[in-house]
Amino acid sequence: MNRIEARFNQLKSNGKKALIPYVTAGDPNPQVTVGLMHAMVEAGADIVELGVPFSDPMADGPVIQAACERALEHHVSLRQVLSMISEFRQKDSETPVIIMGYLNPIEVLGYEAFSKMAVEAGVDGVLTVDMPPEEGHDFFQALSDVNIAPIFLLAPTSNAQRIEKITAMGRGFVYYVSLKGVTGVKSIDIDEVTNKLNELRQFTDLPIGVGFGIRDAESAKSVAAVADAVVVGSSIVKRIEALKDAPEKINADVSAFLAELRQAIDS
């Protein structure tokens, strides 16, 4: 059992739902990220999702694309992201950390080398947006060998055959993308989400996290009523963008926002 599974078990026993904030590593500069990770945990985050900057983040909307560009201006690489997680682990050995990104930087390192570096850094799960399960056997095996959970996305358009395949391969939790399209551009339809989650639970006992379209305390509360985890990304990244020229204010602003979400989810 890795930290993700342990955290969900702990939350379930306490009757709580997970809050999973996403930020892009190195945005708006590399010095901000580790402190922000700690601040988010203190504000109520159960799991931290850290985005690896990439030049062509095809699943992400304009907000996270811009965050990647800001990080890449500082030449933030996958190796540096792993170093940030290592630094985070010096003070926090318990909070699960997931990295989200695209396949190219991982392939450059090689699956086994990446997996070894990731587990040594303290990574618990990897979500690789553009690696389909049909093509990923060697990669997923390399992750499994070091007890890192492969996290998979499911969409409103995923059919029963696809759901069955992905849930059989996934570990940690399943990430349900509540909207068709890219991150940060639409609002969530809670009735549609509820119906789809009922379908997903026919195929898996894994916890289900819902992301895309969660913008405020109200939408977070609605999702928490039907899901096991609430994933929030673009709304946080927008706040970081607004304070990119005053980075010393980012931790307090993001923490206040997450505290609102935490209170709404727990209510």
Q: What is the pLDDT of residues 35-61, one digit of tens each?
A: 999 999 999 999 999 999 999 877 788
Helices 62-73 & 234-242, crossing angle to 10 degrees? 50
Mean pLDDT value across the chain: 93
Per-residue model confidence (pLDDT) at position 190: 86
Rg, Å, the chain Cα set: 17
Is pLDDT at 184 greater than 50 in this prediction?
Answer: no
Per-residue model confidence (pLDDT) at position 186: 53
Once rounded to an integer, what is the mean pLDDT over residues 91-104? 97
Per-residue model confidence (pLDDT) at position 59: 77
User: Annotated catalytic residue: which of 27, 49, 228, 241?
Assistant: 49
Q: What is the pLDDT of residues 208-239, one digit of tens each?
A: 999 988 889 999 999 999 999 999 999 999 99
Please say if 134 is a catalytic residue.
no
Please say if 27 is a catalytic residue.
no
In terms of pLDDT, which residue wins out, 252 or 181? Answer: 252
Q: What is the pLDDT of residues 188-212, one digit of tens each?
A: 788 889 999 999 999 999 999 999 8
**3-266 CATH choice from 3.80.30.20, 3.20.20.70, 3.30.1490.20, 3.40.50.1950:** 3.20.20.70
The whole-model pTM stands at: 0.95
- Domain extents for the chain? 3-266
- State how far Cα 240 lies from the chain centre: 17
User: Annotated catalytic residue: which of 27, 60, 228, 241?
Assistant: 60
